[in-house]
Amino acid sequence: MIRAIVVDDEPVGHDIIRAHAENIAFISIEACFLSAHEAYNYLKNNSVDLLFLDIAMPDVSGIEFASMLPDEIQVIFTTAYPEHALKGFELAATDYLLKPINFTRFLKACQLAKTRLSLEKHNKEEQALFVKDGHDWVQIKFSNLVYAKAEDNYVNLHETNKQTLTRITLAELLKKLPPDQFLRVHKSFIIAKHKIDRIEKHQILVEGTKIPLSKLYKEQLLASFWRL
């Protein structure tokens, strides 16, 4: 069962989502809130899997609120303004629902959330990460990942035999990787500790590839290296 809450400053928005959710066996609406502040206070003491989050709200917008949420909480944005879609997806939102929300589109969004939650669970159990590559989901095994490089709004994941470009920030990716296996060594690079060949003054050799080493991260890297 997916535990969800609704955050929308219009009560009618709550009613529509509750009505749709009642027809989906795997969705449970735990609570509804008129502001991000109310939802934030609820999340301090309660765990949820999914937020149906309106974007255009007073005080704290849905975009601002989503940026403060833990990565493990899925977000489906709801709004009457289609121009907000791009910003929503930049935050790696699960989906974007344009009001008025019909049931078929709502069901599709819920199924996407269910898939992503299943993949996250698989990641923890199988020591792997699923990332979106275009319209597909691709598995990245931690044992195969050599390094990750930031490229504008994307990250290029370099494995031993392939590369995958996915829309995520380096900071977001680092949160999903086991800290005992991966480390940030530069503003644009994360490396796999077990793939290190050599640490030099200003660079690292990782399976033959030269990776720049920032002074900011060098001490952390060396300390971590000796703990391997």
182, two tokens: 């991966």
Confidence class for position 228, pLDDT limits 50, 70, 90: very low
DSSP-derived secondary structure for 130-190: EEEETTEEEEEETTTEEEEEEETTEEEEEESS-EEEES--HHHHHHHS-TTTEEEEETTEE
What Cα–Cα distance (Å) separates residue 102 from each residue in 18, 24, 51, 78, 81? 12, 13, 18, 12, 16
Q: What is the pLDDT of residue 113?
A: 93
Q: What is the pLDDT of residue 60?
A: 86
Q: Are 62 and 56 in contact (CB under 8 A)?
A: yes
Angle at 17 between CA 78 and CA 123, to 5 degrees: 70
b/e map of 130-154 (b: 16 or more CB within 10 Å)? Answer: bbeeeeeeeebebebbbbbbbeeee
Mean pLDDT (the chain, rounded)? 88
Least confident of 55-64, 111-120, 124-133, 146-155: 124-133
Query: How many other β-carbons are positioned within 10 Å of the β-carbon of residue 204?
Result: 23
Place of tokens 């060396």: 222
Confirm whether pTM is higher than 0.75.
no
Domain with CATH 3.40.50.2300 in the chain: 2-126
Least confident of 29-38, 42-51, 74-83: 74-83
Determine what percent of the chain is predicted with pLDDT higher than 90.
55
Query: How many other β-carbons are positioned within 10 Å of the β-carbon of residue 94?
Result: 21
CATH 2.40.50.1020 matches 128-226? yes
DSSP-derived secondary structure for 79-134: ES-GGGHHHHHHTT-SEEEESSPPHHHHHHHHHHHHHHHHHHHHHHHHTEEEEEET
Domain with CATH 2.40.50.1020 in the chain: 128-226
Confidence class for position 225, pLDDT limits 50, 70, 90: low
Burial class (CB in 10 A: 0-12, 13-18, 19+), 74: buried
Instruction: Measure the CA–CA gap between 225 and 119, rounded to whole angstroms.
Output: 30
Whether the pLDDT of residue 77 is over 60: the answer is: yes
| Architecture of the domain made up of 2-126 | 3-Layer(aba) Sandwich (3.40)
Q: Are 202 and 213 in contact (CB under 8 A)?
A: yes
Instruction: Measure the CA–CA gap between 101 and 58, rounded to whole angstroms.
Output: 21
Per residue in 13-39, pLDDT tens? 999 999 999 999 999 999 999 999 999
